[in-house]
Amino acid sequence: YVSEPALESLDALTAMYRLDGDPVLKGNQELEDLDGLESLLQIGGSLRLIDNPKLHTVESIAGLRRIGGELELSHNPKLPTESSASLRAAIGIFNIRGRFKEASNHPRINVSGHVTIRHPSDIKRLEGVERIIGDLLITGAGLHSLVGLDTLKSVVGSVRVRGTTKLQSLEGLHNLCRVGAGLHIDTNEALQDLSGLRELKGIGGSLWGEANRSLQTLRGLENLTVVEGDVWVLDNWSLSGLDGLSGLTLVGQELLLHGNQALESVAALHSLTEIGNCLEIHENDALGSLEGLERLISIGAGLHITDNPELTSLIGLSSLRSLGGVLEIERNASITNLRGLEKLTKVGEAVSVRSNPLLSSIRGLTRLTFIGGQLSVLDNPVLEDLGDLDSLKRLGSELTIDGSPKLFPSAVESLQAHIAKAGIRCDPMAPTTPSLS
Are the folds of 107-268 and 273-280+293-437 the same? yes
pLDDT at 425: 52
Residue 431's pLDDT band, with cuts at 50, 70 and 90, is very low
pLDDT at 215: 97
pLDDT at 436: 30
pLDDT digits (tens, 9 = 90+) for 9-47: 999 999 899 999 999 999 999 999 999 999 999 999 999
pLDDT digits (tens, 9 = 90+) for 146-186: 999 999 999 999 999 999 999 999 999 999 999 999 999 99
pLDDT digits (tens, 9 = 90+) for 56-69: 999 999 999 999 99
Q: How far apart are CA 22 and CA 98, in angstroms?
A: 12
What architecture (CATH level 2) is domain 107-268?
Answer: Alpha-Beta Horseshoe (3.80)
What is the dihedral angle through the alpha carbons of 150, 152, 154, 157, rounded to the nearest 10 degrees? -120
Torsion sign across C-alpha atoms 94, 97, 98, 101: negative
Closest CA to 181 of 229, 110, 249, 149: 229
pLDDT at 106: 56
Whole-number mean pLDDT of the chain? 91
pLDDT at 79: 86
Residue 259's pLDDT band, with cuts at 50, 70 and 90, is very high
Percent of the chain with pLDDT over 90: 75
Q: Which of 88-102, 303-317, 349-363 has the lowest mean pLDDT?
A: 88-102
pLDDT of 189 > 90? The answer is: yes
What's the whole-model pTM score? 0.76
Mean pLDDT of 287-315: 97
Identify the CATH number of the domain defined by range 273-280+293-437. 3.80.20
List the chain domain ranges.
11-103, 107-268, 273-280+293-437
